[in-house]
Amino acid sequence: MNTYEPVIGLEIHVELKTKSGMFCGCPADHFAKKPNTGTCPVCLGLPGALPVPNKKAVEWTIMLGLALGSTIAEVSKFDRKHYFYPDLPKGYQISQYDQPLCSGGKVSTSFGDVRIHRVHLEEDTGKLQHATVNGKKVTLVDFNRSGVPLVEIVTEADIRSSEQAKEFLKKLHQIVRYLGISDADMEKGSMRLEPNISIRKVGETGLPNYKVEVKNINSFRFAAAAIEYEVKRHAVILESGKVPAQETRGWDEAKNATVSQRSKEEAADYRYFPEPDIPPMRFTESFIDGIRKSMPQLPDAYKKEVKDVHGLNDNQASVLSEDFGKMKLFAEIMKLHEVTEAKITGATVANWLINKVADAGGLTGEAIASEIIQSKKVVEVSDDVLLEAINAVIAENPKAVADFKAGKEQSKMFLYGNVLKRLAGKGDKQKVLELLAAQL
């Protein structure tokens, strides 16, 4: 049998958390709302309704492009992408074809760089719901999601393993969350993953002559599982002398397998043409610069900062910057007056967040800070109690005492350690050291 290597590209759709829709004033937050309550003539595609682009959505897409190192287009436009499906009220989706907002860029992974092909802006579709109404199997459609701003990120086919795909996706997820442009909550469908998978014989360098797209995956784990499943399936087909069909498949969670959905459309099938109701967009350098200046710190920069400013080690910095929630809590806690006052170090706060908070959700920075300070506070005891412990340790260790008197400074620290052990966390450590020196 030949040895093969995967050739994987990814398409990722991310819903932006703008207030309003991509081309209308309907709320962009559609999650768990009563069906068809957040709609208007524009997102329902009623005749005569005219789209007006959401400026924030355009700015945020550019911001994402800047974070990924993309080139931002000087001129960009929207296009109509036609296909017929009940969740698409106009019969076309307003998307971007040949002049996307952002082109190029890359995300580095431990397996090598993954180049970004393009980042473009479009509108989300409605949602179909399969249900039984009055004993009849029906398909219902909810248009609340129709017209929600959606960013599509397309990578080059640079990914060579499911692990690399997972690492890339986690990094992208992190960047989107840091920028604050989307919840990127995969369970709610605000980040959806589509790997394009083919395989080739090891040593070959060209792109394979087919690819299979797996649609709408909602977890990193499923993305990796779908890739592994496809890689094995393709190898069997290629070994039999055939070529896997160019098609779109879905991930079946229950079967732990991909299933065929439909043959893949070609760009020509979509009859793309420029959206006549929206003029092209032109961006000045100062507009792009303004966006660049308003960008929050990205994960890699944050990681460096917590090491340089708060003295965290590599491991603490990595774990913390991986989790957006914990990272925010860390920054919040380190700014608190009482934390500075109590001389709580960054390392202490980081360790607490890493080890004690499985899910940082719910706890405020202040609550965590007071818990840390409480745990650090010494139990006040009288000098008599300290002296009693010191004298007991001196009596029990005549050799160490003699060594100290003979000039062996280390012996004092040995005695000091034993006194602390005896006090079991009680008493002020500095005071213990002073009293011990005096007694000796």
- Residue closer to Mn ion (CB basis): 152 or 158: 152
- Residue closer to Mn ion (CB basis): 65 or 427: 65
- Residue closer to Mn ion (CB basis): 97 or 111: 97
- Residue closer to Mn ion (CB basis): 149 or 299: 149
- Residue closer to Mn ion (CB basis): 152 or 167: 152
Contact 128, 102 (CB under 8 A): no
CB-count exposure of residue 5 (10 Å: 0-12, 13-18, 19+): middle
Kindly list the residues in this chain that would bind Mn ion in the complex (CB under 5 A): 152
Helix, strand, coil percentages in the chain from 3-state DSSP, rounded to 5? 40, 25, 40
Give the bridge partners for 274, in sequence order: 79
State in angstroms the smallest separation of the CB of 181 from Mn ion: 17
State in angstroms the smallest separation of the CB of 80 from Mn ion: 13
State in angstroms the smallest separation of the CB of 351 from Mn ion: 42
Spatial separation of the C-alpha atoms in residues 201 and 205, rounded to whole Å: 9
Spatial separation of the C-alpha atoms in residues 320 and 334, rounded to whole Å: 13
Burial 373-411 (b: 16+ CB within 10 A, else e): beeeeeeeeeeeebeebbeebbeebeebbebbeeeeeeb
State in angstroms the smallest separation of the CB of 150 from Mn ion: 7
- Residue closer to Mn ion (CB basis): 191 or 344: 191
- CA dihedral sign of residues 150, 151, 156, 161: negative
State in angstroms the smallest separation of the CB of 94 from Mn ion: 11
State in angstroms the smallest separation of the CB of 68 from Mn ion: 17
- Residue closer to Mn ion (CB basis): 15 or 152: 152
- Residue closer to Mn ion (CB basis): 65 or 365: 65
Spatial separation of the C-alpha atoms in residues 360 and 346, rounded to whole Å: 17
- Residue closer to Mn ion (CB basis): 12 or 281: 12
Contact 267, 233 (CB under 8 A): no
Spatial separation of the C-alpha atoms in residues 132 and 32, rounded to whole Å: 20
Spatial separation of the C-alpha atoms in residues 307 and 295, rounded to whole Å: 21
Residue with the shortest CB distance to Mn ion: 152
DSSP code for 27 = B
State in angstroms the smallest separation of the CB of 227 from Mn ion: 20
The terminus-to-terminus CA distance of the chain in angstroms comes to: 79
Phi, psi dihedral angles at 394 (to 5 degrees): -65, -40
Q: How many residues are listed for the chain in this entry?
A: 440
Paired tokens of 197: 């998978």
State in angstroms the smallest separation of the CB of 89 from Mn ion: 17
State in angstroms the smallest separation of the CB of 258 from Mn ion: 20
Largest CA distance in the chain: 99
**What are the Cα distances from residue 12, in Å, to 196, 210, 265, 388?**
11, 20, 18, 68
Closest CA to 252 of 212, 224, 232, 222: 222
CB-count exposure of residue 293 (10 Å: 0-12, 13-18, 19+): exposed
State in angstroms the smallest separation of the CB of 288 from Mn ion: 24
- Residue closer to Mn ion (CB basis): 215 or 426: 215
